A and B are shown apart, each in its own frame.
Chain A
Amino acid sequence: QSVLTQPPSVSGAPGQRVTISCTGSSSNIGAGFDVHWYQQVPGTVPKLLMYANNNRPSGVPDRFSGSKSGTSASLAISGLQAEDEADYYCQSYDSSLGGFVVFGGGTKLTVL
């Protein structure tokens, strides 16, 4: 069981907007720790997609956006494209047990 909970899968048609949720608790997202997102196309290395909740690294299209509220965070992808089909992981920090990095279980995005 992952400390951060993500839906196992989401889907959308090309051009549509989808959101992926990441639900934590008072010891991680709810404590104010930043949330970061990674994209992993099957068979490839994870790539940083969003850092510090809503900041896109250079080269990431502005179709991707992030938000955080309370004990949850979300990644939104607008104008879905076939190349967006991948696994998406959220990541944060948890203050329990001395503090450590935590990942969500991952969400498989299917572009229909």
Chain B
Amino acid sequence: QVHLQQSGPGLVKPSETLSLTCTVSGDSVSDYYWTWIRQPPGKGLEWIGNIYNNGNTKYNPSLKSRVTIEVDMSENQFSLKLTSVTPADTAVYFCAKDFGGWTMIRGVMTPYDYFDPWGPGARVTVSS
């Protein structure tokens, strides 16, 4: 059974870089896709980006210029870095296992992603 444990600072100053780590147990990070999702206080879910088992990444276009997701196979963990943060980046950040892949729809190979399980969430506040 896969288990995700998150770590990282709960308070980040404006203009600085938010860094979070998700440590995986029960699966190898090299065998699956992994994703980051956030939820601002009282609001809905926003997908941040994911990393494939070949190291390729895909990011939310609204965050792409500020986001980096990487995998550390030696530690069996993956990480999120979000640069130049503002108070609007205050949220609970979740890591999750990404059941991503490809399926044939109307004769075209089409990507899909869904997420299970999710990490416990890390509350990050951006404030000076």
Contacts and interface: CB of A to CB of B under 8 A. Distances in A.
Contacts, number: 75
Contact of A46 (B45, B60, B113): B45
B79 to A, nearest CB: 19
A89 interface: yes
Interface in B79-128: 94, 99, 103, 105-106, 108, 110-121
Given A45-B120, A100-B59, A100-B60, A36 B44 contact: no
Contacts of A91: 45, 47, 114-115
B50 interface: yes
Contact of A34 (B45, B60, B103, B121): B103
Contact of B47 (A31, A97, A100, A106): A100
B47 A46 contact: no
Contact of A57 (B105, B110, B116): B116
A46 B112 contact: no
A31 B111 CA distance: 11
Interface of A: 2, 31-34, 36, 38, 45-48, 51-52, 57, 89, 91, 93, 97-106
